[in-house]
Amino acid sequence: MAMTGRQTRPPREKRVPKPLDKAGLEELALAYVARFATSSRKLEDYLKRKLRERGWDGDDQPPVAATVMRYVDLGYVDDAAYARAKSGGLLRRGYGPRRVAQALGAAGIAEDIRDDLRAGEGAQRGAALALARKRRFGPFAAEPVEREKREKQIAAMLRAGHGFDIVRAVMNAESVSEAERWAAEAQDGEDFE
């Protein structure tokens, strides 16, 4: 009998996790908030997904909403703090206010919190400048770009959530120092949070 050099094992049976009970749901929730900065909606979605995957071992309904509310009351989950951190991080990475609002909406952040955190003119200009610098758009390009490539750069900045006036100002800047002066004009004490 010829050996092929590779022995096969019988396939392993897939281990089916046991259904969740109240203690298991608590453990999952606590582990999730300990590991990730999260919003109440993201925690709720996570727990519901785990319940779909594993099932529920109880006569009554799983206490998902009550668990989430208890974690909010304890301060383990704070939608406003999460939104501040998330929006600040996105702005620093070069995303515009439209994309920031979309990300916060997807995380279940209430509209009033999103409105309170809306970036001012200085933060918007700084974010656009950060994206242009990172991607070498406009005045940050090593060499002048052709029209088609410039249009693609403008489209990328628009997709990143910047308004057309801000994109045009960055892309039309003659030099890096001119773009930086333009961004600094609107800073007046604003900062990325």
Residues 172, 113 within the same domain: yes
Q: Is residue 14 part of a domain?
A: no
Q: Is residue 167 part of a domain?
A: yes
| Digit-coded pLDDT (tens) for 175-192 | 999 999 999 998 755 554
Residue-level pLDDT at 109: 96
Q: Is residue 1 part of a domain?
A: no
How far apart (Å, rounded) are the C-alpha atoms in residues 76 and 37? 9
Query: For the chain, where are the alpha helices, taking DSSP H only?
Result: 22-35, 40-54, 64-74, 79-92, 97-106, 111-116, 121-135, 147-159, 164-172, 176-185
- Dihedral angle computed from the Cα positions of residues 33, 34, 35 and 37, in that order, rounded to the nearest 10 degrees: 50
| Digit-coded pLDDT (tens) for 126-158 | 999 999 999 999 999 999 899 999 999 999 999
Q: Is residue 3 part of a domain?
A: no
State yes or no: pLDDT of 166 exceeds 70.
Answer: yes
pTM: 0.81
Phi, psi dihedrals of residue 20, rounded to the nearest 5°: -80, 145
Q: Is residue 137 part of a domain?
A: yes
Query: 60, 77, 94 — which closes off a domain?
Result: 77
Instruction: Work out the average pLDDT over 106-129.
Output: 95
Range of the domain at 56: 22-77
Residue-level pLDDT at 150: 95
Q: What percent of the chain has pLDDT over 70?
A: 94
Q: Is residue 143 part of a domain?
A: yes
Q: Is residue 190 part of a domain?
A: no
Q: What is the number of structural domains in the chain?
A: 2
Residues 87, 65 within the same domain: no
